[in-house]
Amino acid sequence: MTSEIALYVIAGAAAGGLINGLAGFGTALFALGFFLNVMPPVQAVAVVVVLSALTGLQGVWIVRHAIGANKRRLARFLVPALIGIPLGVLVLSVIEARSLKLVIAAFLILYGGYFSLRARLPRFERPTPVWDMLVGFLGGVLGGAASLSGALPMMWCALRPWPRHETRAVLQPFNVAVLGLTAGLLALQGVYGRETLVHLALAIPVSIVSAQGGIMIFRRLSDDAFRRLLIALTFVSGTVLMLRELL
């Protein structure tokens, strides 16, 4: 590994770890831009999903009490998502992944831009179990079809008036489970060769330490500030995804 490659790997791991520690998702969004400069796409994704799952476990630990207090809520998102992942893989054989990503990117930009400009955010306070299950299921489908499992849950949770720990208690384990499953499927395909493991050996410690910095910032945020952060990251996610697919 050259020093240039090492710098890209370290920078991507640091950026991805920080945003995962801060928001509970987004490792791929911030890390892939660095990794794709020095790795083939499949290898870059293989590294990202491992980093996402490992750094995400730290976030799961800090909201473990909120997860325990809201197990049914998490199950409403996660169980349908696991069903939706293989269906998403089938969808991919019918719909071009690039076109799907561009549509989702446009939706993220419109959503994030609109709610970022609003002085007051909507508050969906009543229980919505059916909608929660539908969002989780569609998140799984998008994960299998375009590696965008977190897009819809992120948008939906940002509009709920849940305390930030409860919001994260949905997003963090949801992403860890989906991406952990993805890493397992990639491992069965033999993606984790020697070079990929060398990249992981360098990236994992950096990502874990960086995530701790993000977690420290998260603990200082108010509930409303965290909702605003999620919406802002929705806009950033859509913009980065759009530019990556177009350029």
Chunked into runs of 10 residues, the chain (247 residues) has average pLDDT values of: 89 92 82 85 86 89 91 94 85 74 86 82 80 92 76 86 90 88 84 92 95 92 88 87 83
Return the pLDDT at 101: 80
Return the pLDDT at 65: 92
Indicate the domain borders of the chain. Answer: 3-246
Return the pLDDT at 76: 95
Report residue 70: phi and psi, to 5°.
-135, 45
- Extract the tokens encoding 7: 């710098």
DSSP 204-237: HHHHHHHHHHHHHHHHHS-HHHHHHHHHHHHHHH
Do residues 49 and 189 touch, judged by C-beta distance below 8 A?
no
161 Cβ contact partners less than 8 Å away, ≥ 6 residues apart:
123, 124, 125, 227
Determine how many CB atoms are found less than 10 A away from the CB of residue 169: 28
Q: Which of 33, 59, 6, 28 lies closest to 200, judged by CA?
A: 6
Return the pLDDT at 178: 85
pTM for the model stands at 0.82
Return the pLDDT at 146: 66
Return the pLDDT at 205: 95
